[in-house]
Amino acid sequence: MTHRFPPGFLWGSATAAYQVEGAAREGGRTPSIWDTFAHTPGKVLAGDTGDIAVDHFHRSSEDVALMAELGLSAYRFSVSWSRVQPTGRGPALQRGLDFYRRLVDDLLDNGISPMLTLYHWDLPQELEADIHGGSAAGGGWPHRDTAYRFADYAAIVAEALGDRVELWTTLNEPWCSAFLGYASGVHAPGRTDPVAALRAAHHLNLAHGLAARTLRETLPARADIMISLNPAVVRARSSAPADVDAQRQIDALATRIFTGPLLHGAYPDDLLADTAPLTDWSFVHDGDLAIAHHPLDALGINYYTPSLVSGSTDNAPPRHDGHGAGSRSPWAGAEHVAFHQPPGERTEMGWSIDPSGLYDLLLRFHREAPGLPLHITENGAAFDDKPDAEGAVHDPERIAYLRGHLLAAHRALAAGVDLRGYFLWSLLDNFEWSYGYSKRFGAVYVDFPTQTRTPKSSARWYAGVARANALPDS
């Protein structure tokens, strides 16, 4: 049977500025925390950096033409903060905004709806190093002022592009920004302070609310404002009380630390109790939670794989949490929890392939926030893709992955979930953060030395789905 999707369903792909743009020193752009991190020896595999990435800055017209060829109806991209506001404060750099103006105009000319993400992890380095009113350890997201600087930046981008962009995302995966950046240190800026990570999480919630309020004041009424989270699908290894409690703790740190303020205006009591040995949460000021609770028009959900956890009395529990091989845990206050490799097939990242997790997430938020539309803003897989003798790239594993997850999405729609769009991660093979160029998530193969783009078989398959607005029988 053919599985049809609702009329107007958005079929898109997604990228992030530092992963694709390159042109790191052009047009007045200054370093972000990822420029600094990638240029620090030992932080990124093989010493790779995003200096050139896949040269999207110079090849955006080519890439938009490729999207049009593939029949995409939407493109989710992020803006490089340090390209449009180099120090993270002060006036806009018009040369930087001009790139995004051209990109948006090109998308619209090709019938592709732009979905703009204001922040995908590339904080201006000057804000990370800023200690005005902060601690000697530096500024960045643990420093409250960064949230206000983000709102100012949001206003700049909204004033420049608000007449043409109708889908706005404040933050992408704030969990990664807070806990991989400031607790485990496997992402930029590479700090390893669990209290700083908790402070960062709160200030990201505050930043979202401040920016959402600013966007609401600046954008036309037709604009939709959202945030993209990577809520965890956490499963207990057994029904033993210690394992069930481990599941609860990780769910609080991975998901409810954000959905609590954003959807309900409060942090969960169990999260505060779990982290009480680390902090009294006095960095939460009166009125902060009301700001973070600013009404959303939609919620973005990023999903790749579930987690399997247990309680542990071991001083060095297994660390198969899928977030890199740092020596420090990202799980502030829950370092004792053990992560296990779920059974079954895996991607090149070592991540379990389990579409049921996507279905579970969609139903969870349908129940928790009834009436709030949802978008799958990231879903995809890395495989060891290689061209054959004729230069074609066949990736049947990715097609199977996408089909399974789209079937899960369709099942959620049938269960009443208000799902509006699906954004494949990623359009292009690109710089995969601390893994450098070693992991390929793209539907389009990129030969990095020549920057030649070659759609993989999965890109052609996905194009067929997008054009038909339906999954084929097989």
d(CA 165, CA 142): 30
On whether the CB atoms of residues 351 and 442 are closer than 8 A, the answer is: no
Angstrom distance (rounded) from CA 96 to CA 24: 11
335 is catalytic: no
| Cβ–Cβ under 8 Å, residues 204 and 150 | no
- Of 340, 159, 366, 375, the C-alpha closest to 263 is 366
Distance CA 371, CA 418 (A): 8
Backbone angles phi, psi at 35, to 5 degrees: -60, -50
166 is catalytic: no
Out of 126, 378, 397, 432, which one is annotated catalytic?
378
Active-site position among 21, 173, 397, 432: 173
Q: Residues with Cβ < 8 Å from 319, sequence gap 6 or more?
A: 325, 329, 339
Q: Which residues are catalytic?
A: 173, 378
